[in-house]
Amino acid sequence: MKTQALMDTFDSLGLTQYQQDKVFPGGVNGRAIIVNAGADKENRLAVTSPIDGEKIADFNCASSADVADTVEKAQQAFQYWRTVPAPKRGDLVRLIALVVRERKQALAALITLEMGKTVQESLGEVQEWIDIAEFAVGLSRQLYGLTIATERPEHRMMEQWHPLGPVGVISAFNFPMAVWAWNSMLGLVCGDPVIWKPSEKTPLCALACQQVVMEALARSEFNKIPEAENLSHILVGDKHIGQALARHPGLPLISATGSVPMGKAVAQTVGARLGRHLLELGGNNAMIVAPSAELSLAIRAIVFSAVGTTGQRCTSLRRLLVHESLFDQVCEKVTHAYQQVSIGDPRDENNIIGPLIDEAALQAMTHAIEKARQQGGTVITGGERVNKGGSGGFYVKPCLIKIDLDAPVVKAETFAPILYLDQYSDLQEALTKHNNVPQGLSSAIFTESSREAELFLSAIGSDCGIANVNIGTSGAEIGGAFGGEKETGGGRESGSDAWKNYMRRSTNTINYGKDLPLAQGIKFDI
Ligand code: UN1
């Protein structure tokens, strides 16, 4: 099934036609799609679909030499792109949004095939790309600097935002298009070419994204400009490619999404050359359900946040703190919902839980459940593998575990649908537990009390980058800044003023007088 489905999807994305051009120099060879055909044949990467574990593509990975060459090309593109007025750059991104809108179904189908999220969620991910692209188009006329009051007569002080340079993007499998889109749509309007190392688990999605950009370029006024062809690059490969990008002084910014160990390695390497990094790492997101909570909303929010994307979002709900007065009721309702959810092939619209990405994810889940048991936890429901007609996909029942949230296992992010559940009697005590993890991405409270809600959002409330009231922890809109504190890495991507990451600020003071007054009233007569 895979070969045909993949080829159909690629056909509708125009990829097979495109490969004759230059993205797939090795061509489509039966089931295999080869990138960098000239590269080391030992260095091959097999891509399997999590739907059934079948191999869907074969790659030769990029090499470190490709990194140096690609950065050089991106630098050349930058020399050109930074001179193009920002609203004109925005016009390319407008065309990208247009192509994505036209190809939405096919792009979503590819996400589902390669990453395994449900069609609804894949459509949502593609929508996220459209949203950030259209946001970036508007932004291309709003890259504002301040004018600042100066203490000197006949002077003016202002700031300008200039393009930064080529940006290296390292992304994870779970949002194989949207996270790159957050970075590259903003990067492109800000004047920066983008070099992307996608997850080794989802390179086909990356190729499709590249195809979209190339198609938009072909439709744009930049279609005859050789430098414009080098605005967007992908390098398929393992962590050595990521490390080479992080080391390269030609990339002033590395934006990395993924695990905490990966983020630390990137931060150290980029930091050693005093480059900038933008990190979006692990989350360990919690929700507090207060006594006044509207339970019909809370239960849906809990289940969507905890089991959506099979618990493989950075923003997935992993910890639930329920007031003791509601504990039994919430526990019963969530258990009931967990036992009802349909699990299976994500292409079937009836299923709301697809497979885990791979066997390692299943093992991590099984291991965490075992540890939770050893640390005093009780499995209320789920955790078992579900056999889907002997398919090689890793389908699991979402797992609900009653445990003290101070247990060590709860402090680590396990990228799987495990929800740890605990009760509280006093909100202060709940907040302490809530914040007592190394990560700080997303959080939520369900309450009808404005006092409790405001406390949760205040400086002494949730310590996360995202704090919500009466909605779940996942499913953030692109308009807000996305990211978190502590081991989540401190970066902010996507909306609000996250664009400033992709630009350099120049503070300018202009003297239009006939004197040279010094700041701070310093006298310096020569
Ligand atoms: C991620 O899991 O890395 O808030 C991104 C959400 C999505 C993005 C998640 N908009 O769930």
Minimum-distance ligand 1 atom for the alpha carbon of 312: 2
Say if ligand 1 is within 6 A of residue 475 CB.
yes
Give whole-number Cα distances, 262 to 124, 238, 239, 388, in Å: 27, 12, 9, 33
Q: Which atom of ligand 1 is nearest to the CA of 174?
A: 2
Q: Which long-range contacts (CB under 8 A, 24 or more apart) does 216-223 make?
A: 216/92, 216/95, 216/96, 216/98, 216/99, 217/92, 217/95, 219/95, 219/98, 219/99, 220/91, 220/92, 220/95, 221/88, 221/91, 222/84, 222/92
Split at pLDDT 50, 70, 90, the class of 390 is confident
* Cβ of 313 less than 6 Å from ligand 1: yes
Nearest protein Cα to ligand 1, atom 7: 475
Task: Please state the pTM of the whole predicted model.
Answer: 0.94
Residue type for position 210: Q
Mean pLDDT over residues 346-365, rounded? 96
pLDDT of 23 higher than 50? no
DSSP 86: H
Could you tell me the distance, in angstroms and rounded to a whole number, from the CA of residue 64 to the centre of ligand 1? 30
Residue that is written with structure tokens 């869907």 in the block: 56
pLDDT of residue 60: 73
Q: Which of 61, 314, 331, 399 is catalytic?
A: 314
Q: Is 331 assigned a catalytic role?
A: no
pLDDT digit string (tens) for 163-187? 999 999 999 999 999 999 999 999 9
d(CA 302, CA 288): 10
474 lines ligand 1 (CB under 6 A): yes
500 has a pLDDT exceeding 80: yes
Ligand 1 site, residue 174, Cβ cutoff 6 A: yes
Over the stretch 231-255, which tens digit does the pLDDT of each residue have?
999 998 889 999 999 999 999 999 9
Ligand 1 site, residue 179, Cβ cutoff 6 A: yes
**Could you tell me if residue 85 is left (phi over 0), alpha (psi between -120 and 50 degrees) or otherwise beta?**
beta
* Closest ligand 1 atom number to CA of residue 466: 4
Mean predicted lDDT score pLDDT of the chain: 92
Q: Which of 482, 492, 493 is the best mutation target for the ligand 1 pocket, counting ligand atoms within 8 Å of the beta carbon and taking the most?
A: 482
Note whether 446 and 297 are within 8 A (CB).
yes
Mutate to test the pocket of ligand 1, among 121, 170, 175 (most ligand atoms within 8 A of CB): 175
Instruction: Give the phi and the psi of residue 19 in degrees, each rounded to 5.
Output: -60, -30
317 Cβ below 6 A of ligand 1: no
Q: Residues 311-333, buried b or exposed e (16+ Cβ, 10 A)? A: bbbbbbbbbbbbbeebbeebbeb
CA distances from 458 to 48, 315, 453, 467 (A): 45, 20, 9, 10
pLDDT band (50, 70, 90) for residue 384: very high
pLDDT, tens digit, for every residue of 47-77? 899 999 988 877 777 877 889 999 999 999 9
Largest CA distance in the chain: 89
The 3-class secondary structure across 241-286, one letter per residue, is: HHHHHHHCCCCCEEEEECCHHHHHHHHHHHHHCCCEEEEECCCCEE
Atom in ligand 1 nearest the alpha carbon of residue 476:
4
Query: What 3-state DSSP class applies to 343?
Result: strand
Whether residue 314 has its Cβ less than 6 Å from ligand 1: yes
CA of 139 to the centre of ligand 1 (A): 21
Interval between CA 305 and ligand 1 midpoint (Å): 11
CB 172 within 8 A of CB 179: yes
Among residues 121, 134, 227, 280, the one annotated as catalytic is 280
pLDDT at 63: 79
Of 221, 180, 223, 229, which is closest to residue 202 (Cα–Cα)? 180
Ligand 1 neighbour 97 (Cβ under 6 A): no
Hey, what are 410's tokens? 């709860």
Whether the pLDDT of residue 34 is over 50: the answer is no
Burial class from Cβ neighbours inside 10 Å (0-12, 13-18, 19+) for residue 240 reads middle
How far is Cα 400 from Cα 387, in angstroms, rounded to an integer? Answer: 20
Is 314 catalytic? The answer is yes
How far are the Cα atoms of 259, 461, 516, 522, 523 from residue 526, in angstroms, in the given order?
59, 57, 12, 13, 10
DSSP state of 344: S
Q: Is 461 in the pocket of ligand 1 (CB under 6 A)?
A: no
